[in-house]
Structure 1
């Protein structure tokens, strides 16, 4: 129930909706009971099956709160009409029935409208909270968690919560009121007979709750399997070229079909129990009604009850209607278990605390003045150390290059600068202030990143360049594109800067995508620039255009360049050679060549190749 009420807490702002919903539900209950309760006077008076004569009140009774008052008011008008004209009395009853049914359905409609508003609020707030948590999670979370599983939680799990937990809200509020209303009417007709029937109800409740618990266990497994299917599908679409190139179609199909089979088996098992819930509750309800008929009938036949035939038939009619809210509650209780399983997976993300977050005392980085420093910095992924006691100072305006074999820690070192990760030992500082003492947003506002893989979005060229700066003008975007050597090809495209570039920029070549990324960095005008293998995946012609754009971008900026193609970093102010997480050589290009160490060997290898 804790998870259930937590889901409902996302219905805010409720405001006037909650009290209005309760009022509408109460009125629907009242008019539903009136519709059935009016059977007694109809049967007793119109068909003359009274056990005792009904006295006509001499005047309208004084008001008091109780069912008897409304019964006396009804008798005052109804019995008087009966004595004059029975057909007129029938018309009177039919009129009350029509009004009662109309009002009952009117309030039912109003309940549905409020339910729709509450449902929309819950799902919108839940999805927004989930997305907010995901977008604020540290980068390391996405290397540990499968993308398909995350997408399954955002889409499938939230949809399951809407279909079960949120849709059960109207059942949870309205149906108990209906049950209370019906039981009040039953107690009013015969407290003794109602008390006997209550003894049987807990048995059916126990059976239904047992079925519901088994459904929840299978629902958790079902949602986990959906996440696995989503993950395989995402990997298949993203790696289609490799799958076809390595003739792995059969392998991929078997892998996918295996997960689908697991989901099918779990789902069938869950559906069996879920399908059992409704007929079980219905059978138990009918069983109880038959029991009431036998017990009540024997009491009347044995002279142990003062119930008239009309009252007894009304009792049976109202008791039979208990099946509707009781069945709705049991069905909702069974269905909601699937939603609660999904909700727990969702809250598993929402409750995570980002590893990278601002201190309460964190200050804003207003200006980068002098230097960026690594002080005895070490870092590890799990147990494996990838950086060991790094000490370097990068002065403002300098360009430094990180080179060396793959796996040496170059990209990890660059990731510490915008605080994608925090070091496990030592400290990264700007102007002598630890990055941990500065707000993450203000740190990243001073930085621009161009990586090997151009991350573009399925939007216009303008919006991709202006990403993160929605207030910029077309003239500013065009200027950034010109500096990045991108304006010419953009102008030749149909639609120009408003042209859509497809998912991840698939409508552009590799060099064009990279120049769009560079234009985006130029528009941001960062103090510190990080270039991570920005030209390694390009052909010679594209590399020249991109390299020229990078040269324009790096002017008068502090730049950290990671490169495998050493010809692109020979003009750097200082080159650091990294191997197995350590800096083994440092200096200018010419100085490192003279040393004849690892750097010279790397140059020679590339020269030969």
Structure 2
């Protein structure tokens, strides 16, 4: 599986990508303007609080106190709460819209990606992109970005006010800024790097957990609890160590900032006290200076948090963009074509999942409409790969697959797959009800009548057991159909194939999970379904394909024999060996 990219600091290009990603969700510029206006009003009211406090204190000191001063301070606090709450809500709404837009983009993209993408990426990693990474982007926009904007506005406003009040005191106070940057910048970079590392490792850990839980029955039946416990503990320990590293840096930087700010505050109080004693400034002005100093502390911390979150968002953006940049299946490109009465031709088809490891080598054969074509041979020979190529999950590396005179790539993918019915040995099911599984994928699934559903269930020998469920057609079957037996799941899959009324059937030992009585009835139903349709069958038991019009024997990726059952018995030694081993026991 492909790993998450190595941690690296964000660049201007990362910021550009981030902004492009955010704007691609088409968020309302008017909503942004309203949110920023609310932030501006919040900042203005916050800046007025120290000035109003100055008037209040000086009014008491110089016997000029008036009740309106108290009312003014209370009014400013009320307005500050209203503006701040309104601004936070609007910006949070923007963040939620962005994350909803990104998740929509990602989900729509992921379901249109080719099977080869999922061969290279763990499912947990893909899920993490849709959930965790989009949440990081949302947090930056709805929480950290507003704080960053408020911080810039606050610092700008505070600097102007302080210069007008007392420029000498302002210079004294601002000497702490470059000192703080010098002391904290190296540690800030290390914290950002560790935070990014924590994010990456958490995503990998989430993927591993999801995979283990999804295959919980395999783990239990394999008595692999101890193995998974040890593996999980190893990952948890790694996350713990990264967390400790982050805590170590925070343990250094927090006291540094606190000591620096307290030192500046003590110095300002001492220097300001001298200036008050000299009559150069009033007590109210000194208190206002201290209040503005407190207001400076919060933006400085906010800036640090913002840039650390920006580090995370840069990594999230990179991974989200990586998925969005993937090539989709060209589902609508090509022409609509009825394939019912056309031959399907493999012409010198070769294919490899990995370079220089060919799974199929120059496979050539032709089917006539309505034929039953069976594939036999040792496991791992390439039979399932031929099915995957027919389903167009992959494209041949060389050679060509044609329908009539047209390469299958020239037929629209939706048109092609809608005419194929596939029943696999894996009993693939979706969580939901029997109804939703039988009609799964049909464009008019909701309009399929109960009568039609019961009809196809009866054809698949599934009606009897479905009738016994309390919910019948609406009976929940659990995740991946785990409330059903293997044979029941297979019969639901066969019913789905009946309902699709396909032009071409593909069956990977479709009756393998059935008991002998069910197999006999389902086989009869399948014979009716196969009538007049081209059918491809992967056979693990030769008894199911002895009546095939053509048997293709595949071994080591090569087609070594073609013919009917009786012909191969005479001409193909390995097929004859298979037949003697299997048929004499059946």
Per the alignment, residue 290 of structure 2 pairs with 316
Q: Which residue pairs with 1:367 in the alignment?
A: 338
Cα deviation, residue 467, structure 1: 0.7
Matching residue of 1:20: 34
User: Unaligned stretches of 5+ in structure 2?
Assistant: 1-14
Structure 1 position 344 matched with structure 2 position 358:
no
Out of 318, 326, 329, the position equivalent to 2:300 is 326
Partner of 1:567: 543
* Runs of 5+ unmatched residues, structure 1: 49-81
1:300: how far off? 6.6
Whether contact under 8 Å (2:145, 2:306) holds in the other structure is no
1:514 to 486, 490, 495: 490
SS of residue paired to 1:168: helix
Please state if 1:40 is matched with 2:54: yes
- Please name the residue that 2:8 is paired with: none
Q: Which moved more, 1:189-198 or 1:571-580?
A: 189-198
Deviation, structure 1 residue 486 = 1.5
1:379 to 343, 351, 354: 351
For the pair 1:253 / 2:229, whether they are aligned, the reply is yes
Deviation, structure 1 residue 351 = 3.1
Is 1:410 matched with 2:383?
A: yes
For 2:133 and 2:252, the matched residues in 1 are separated by 24
State which structure, 1 or 2, has the greater radius of gyration over its C-alpha atoms. 1
CA shift for structure 1 position 253? 1.8
The answer (yes or no) to whether the contact 2:561–2:572 under 8 Å persists in 1 is: no
Out of 167, 170, 181, the position equivalent to 1:205 is 181
Instruction: Report how far residue 19 of structure 1 moved.
Output: 0.7
Change (3 A) 1:590 1:12: same
Query: Shift of the alpha carbon at 1:411?
Result: 0.8
Aligned mates of 1:144, 1:428 — CA distance in 2: 25
Q: CA RMSD in A?
A: 2.7
> Normalised by the size of structure 1, how large is the TM-score?
0.85
Out of 447, 451, 456, the residue aligned to residue 472 of structure 1 is 447
1:495-510 residue pairs with structure 2 within 5 A? 495-510=471-486
Deviation by residue 1:409-447 (Cα, 9 ceiling, x = unmatched): 111111111210001111222232222233322221222
Please give the alpha-carbon distance, in whole angstroms, between the structure 2 residues aligned to 1:179 and 1:115: 21
Find the aligned partners of 1:292 and 1:514 in 2 and give their Cα distance: 80
Deviates more, 1:230-239 or 1:455-464: 230-239
CA contact (8 A) 2:424 2:507 kept: yes
Return the alpha-carbon distance in structure 1 between the equivalents of residues 262 and 145 of structure 2.
Answer: 26
Tell me if structure 1 keeps the 8 A contact 2:461–2:518: no
Q: Secondary structure at the match of 1:577?
A: strand
Q: Note the alpha carbon deviations across 1:31-55, whole angstroms, 9 max, x for none.
A: 111121123333444423xxxxxxx
Alignment of 1:169-184 (within 5 A): 169-184=145-160
5 Å-filtered alignment, 1:109-120, equals 109-120=85-96
Q: How does 1:69-88 map to 2 (within 5 A)?
A: 86-87=64-65
Q: Describe the superposition over 1:137-184 as per-residue Cα deviations: whole angstroms up to 9, x where unpaired.
A: 221222232233333443444444445564312212222222222222
- TM-score, structure 2 normalization: 0.88
Q: 1:553 to 1:214 in 2, by over 3 A?
A: farther
**Matching residue within 408, 414, 430 for 2:403:** 430
From 460, 475, 478, give the equivalent of 2:433: 460
Partner of 1:581: 557
* Match runs of 1:524-563 below 5 Å: 524-563=500-539
Q: Distance in 2 between matches of 1:549 and 1:175?
A: 72
